[in-house]
A and B are shown apart, each in its own frame.
Chain A
Amino acid sequence: MKFKTLDRRVIYLFVFLALSWPLLKGFSIKPARMKSADKFYEIVDQTKSEPNKFAFISFDFGPSTKAENGPQAEVVVEHLMRRRVPVVLFTQYIQADPFLKSIPLKIKAALEAEMPGQKWIYGKDWINLGFRPGSGLLIQSIPKSTNLADLFGVDAFSTPLKEFALFKKPKTLKNISLLGQFTGLVGLFDSYVQFFQTTDYKPVFGHGCTSITIPEAYIYLDSGQLQGLQEGIAGAAWYSKRLTDAYPNRKPDNAILINTGLGIAHLLLIFLIILGNITGLISRSKGG
């Protein structure tokens, strides 16, 4: 009877306590293996640092999904920057604009602290195109463009793209070796799947999704429209672990800590579902 009428606020308190404890203790354990994140890792690892080729990374997330998409974007951009693959950052979602500025700077600081003597330079290792509205209309114009510097014009700081060494010569879709897109917005992801290709070329596509759209993303992985997938924070945590294994001097990040807290919350939910069903069964059998 008591369990049946348990106040929801008591449940909220349990949730708060269950999630607070690992965060305060800094308790983290090895994340579950994510094979799709492994695939994403491998496609980035196989992306070569070639002249006139770059990775096109789109951050299409805001504060509401940054808990999952933020760590995903960070680990991939870090991986690309470690491999010295030039990264062009872009967003179609206005709330992602600050992340385009903060994330590469954070990674640059971490890498330069880890590897003193090495520098990562804006304009050479990464370029920020900033926010561009237009959704599908803009994305469908990218493959058609004969010079991406003309299409985008300037970077987020109003510097003409032709001033950068990467864009001195005309660049097209064929110069994009990897497309990475991080979003919880299904519409934007669909636009990339539908339009970011020509009849004879399609860049390798890795996607970081929020956990809600994981089952949906798998159909694209199956059809070959995606070559790599990061499944929410769990995917980011596994990717982060792979980076730490490959680069032992790397400082571990937040993803694994958050992932551990999540694990406890999941167990709490399963326990409550089982408890709820048992109490329901008991009350039904008593005729109440």
Chain B
Amino acid sequence: MNTDFALWTVIMAGVATLAIFSFLIKENPFYRFFEHIFIGISAGLISVQGIRYFLWPQILVPMLGLDIVTYPDGTASKPYEPLLLLYIVPLLFGLLYYFIYSQRYAWLAKLVIGFSLGASAGLAFKGFFAEMLPQLASSFKPLVVMEDAQINYLQSVSNIIFIFTLLAVMYYFFFSIKADSAVEKKFSASGRWLMMVCFGSFFGSTVMARLALLVERLQFILIDWINAIKTVLIA
């Protein structure tokens, strides 16, 4: 029976994929139906998994002492830690989110949102310095690179291009200073051009990302799904 179920799972997956692909021809009820199914399934899955993998095992189980085992002689595996009851505080505080649906008490939801934003802001300090200081340090590249007592021209030119690009793009994008002189205007324009090079490489990379997903789905339809259909038809 399970082999049948596995086979029908593959067939269903193919039907679902084709339903989404049908949007390419025209928006249609078949696509809309499966789109709604997807939303429903996602919402159902995520809500249960959040409780299953965090709220229940990491908060509720220790807080309620459900992880304490009673041995055959009546002794407990470990003493209950009363400090765990403090978890009630964040749980109750988090419940304030639901006041967002009340017109009168919506301000209570803002308290917990503000608290969470504050926590993110506090983390941002460490994150910023941990992430950006190495970036800053590695931006100071030598303009003349020596290798075996000789100038490595390729590396030197590359470093010069790197630093010029960094400064030009920062000048154009970050400082947003109005360019008055011809030199400033050219410098700003070069920053814009070099940013286009960056966007071009982003586009080239994005193409691969999108197409990889498409190729994988087509492979599933053309090979796995067709084989499953053949198996069912033969059977």
Contacts and interface: CB of A to CB of B under 8 A. Distances in A.
- Chains A and B touch (C-beta atoms under 8 A apart): yes
Contacts of B119: 137
Contacts of A167: none
A248 interface: no
Nearest to A223: B138
A12 interface: yes
Given A223-B138, A224-B134, A19 B212 contact: no
Nearest to A134: B54
B9 interface: no
Interface residues of B, number: 40
Contact of A262 (B58, B201, B206, B212): B212
Contact of B126 (A140, A211, A265): A140
Given A9-B25, A193-B131, A262 B211 contact: yes
Contact of B134 (A64, A223, A261): A223
Contact of B215 (A66, A94, A258): A258
A232 B209 contact: yes
Contacts, number: 129
A19 B215 contact: yes
A23 B205 contact: no
Interface stretch (B27-35, B45-53, B105-113): B45-53
B222 interface: yes
A212 B50 CA distance: 28
Contacts of A193: 130-131
B126 A266 contact: no
A215 B127 contact: no
> For the complex, would chain A's binding face be called helix, strand, loop or mixed by DSSP majority?
helix
B206 A212 contact: yes
A215 B130 contact: no
Interface stretch (A35-43, A52-60, A107-115, A125-133): A125-133
A65 interface: yes
A9 B127 contact: no
Contacts of B167: none
B219 interface: yes
B38 to A, nearest CB: 10
B147 interface: no
B207 A266 contact: yes
A191 B135 CA distance: 15
Given A194-B127, A194-B130, A232-B205, A266 B218 contact: no
B17 to A, nearest CB: 11
B209 A223 contact: no
Contact of B216 (A67, A190, A197, A215): A67
Contacts of B57: 153-154, 158
B1 interface: no
Interface string A6-42: 0001001001100110011000000000000000000
Interface in B199-235: 201-202, 205-209, 211-219, 222-223
B91 interface: no
18 contacts: A9-B25, A12-B24, A65-B213, A67-B217, A68-B213, A94-B45, A130-B53, A134-B54, A137-B119, A137-B123, A211-B212, A220-B135, A224-B134, A225-B134, A231-B205, A232-B208, A258-B215, A262-B211
Q: Which 8 A-B pairs have the closest CB atoms?
A: A67-B216, A211-B209, A211-B208, A194-B127, A223-B138, A214-B205, A194-B130, A261-B215
